[in-house]
Copies of this chain bind each other. A is one copy, B any other.
């Protein structure tokens, strides 16, 4: 249903047999398995437990969660439908707190539902499913557009550092940060990528490495604490990362550790680019301090696949995101163009052009 103008990349989520299928990213790269989702509650749990992760795609997944719920309720009365749908929106909104795309998508779906006056439950369900399909297709187009703009910033033979996974797996396809790298390669630029493992969930080691190897883009893996060492040796020319939320002033929330990368990039005069679809910008959040930071379970740090590598008694702190202040951001790369040295005014203009 989604027309793509280049070779197909991996699908993090897909609509199949009237159900949502989500690629279980917790198992990559050892196993490639889709799980099937039938309701909003199930999708919320899939987002919470990080079967699917990445701001843009959890937005899309939550839209499908809304649609699934409506389909499930299509034979109910209008009042039953309304009450159950209200609950679905609430449970999805509680799945993860930081990525604004989730709330952006739910707000859009809610508005569509609210404006569907005079329709039967079944017709509303069809409308919401169509909207979810459209959102997925739009996310892909947005990534292609960011890729086209961003590729211009990449010089040939550039050694690019990226962090976590802002790739096809985090989006409807192509990726945000990795989409820019892919677009640069498509127009003939040679690039090599370094990614750090991104503890504790290892999105860099497990997901970004896997995506780059699939497309034969040269990739080197390091641990997170080696980033400064490589920068100091001149082995990084540019940093490109994704984002979970950009505040109105340009502060950037992204995977924990992004702030460290940005501080190190600044020290070494390396440009720090943020691939940022407009759906990730939240004009109602004035600055980074107002962005809620998710604290996740200590087990993610204490153990991996059942192996406990520290003592159980230790206190563990596990914030999933941090905030990079706007003064460390060289440019935002959006689907509407590049915003160098962003500020409140230039960000606001993106929405009025």
Using a CB–CB cutoff of 8 Å, the interface residues on chain A facing chain B are 29-30, 194, 196-200, 202, 205-206, 209-210, 213, 218-230, 232, 256-257, 259-260, 263-264, 267, 301-302, 304-305, 307-311, 313-319, 322-323
Contact = CB atoms under 8 A, between A and B. Distances in A.
Given A222-B301, A224-B225, A232-B322, 16 more contacts: A29-B310, A30-B308, A197-B199, A202-B309, A202-B310, A209-B311, A209-B314, A218-B315, A220-B314, A223-B301, A226-B257, A228-B259, A228-B322, A229-B260, A232-B259, A263-B267
Nearest to A207: B310
A28 to B, nearest CB: 9
Contacts of A232: 259, 322-323
A307 B307 contact: yes
Contacts of A221: 301-302, 310, 314-317
Contacts of A259: 228-229, 232
A30 B228 CA distance: 32
Which has the most chain B C-beta neighbours within 10 Å: A29, A196, A225, A323? A225
Chain copies in the assembled complex: 2
B223 A200 contact: yes
Contacts of A218: 315
Nearest to A266: B267
Nearest to A267: B263
Contacts of A317: 194, 220-222, 226, 230
A103 B31 CA distance: 47
A225 B204 CA distance: 13
Contacts of A200: 223
24 contacts: A29-B311, A198-B225, A200-B223, A202-B309, A213-B314, A219-B314, A222-B316, A223-B224, A223-B256, A223-B257, A224-B225, A225-B256, A226-B257, A226-B317, A226-B318, A227-B260, A228-B257, A228-B260, A229-B259, A229-B322, A230-B317, A232-B322, A260-B260, A304-B309
A301 B197 contact: yes
A104 B288 CA distance: 50
Closest 5 CB pairs of A and B: A225-B257, A199-B223, A228-B260, A224-B225, A205-B310
A304 B303 CA distance: 11
Nearest to A210: B311
Nearest to A29: B311
Nearest to A306: B307
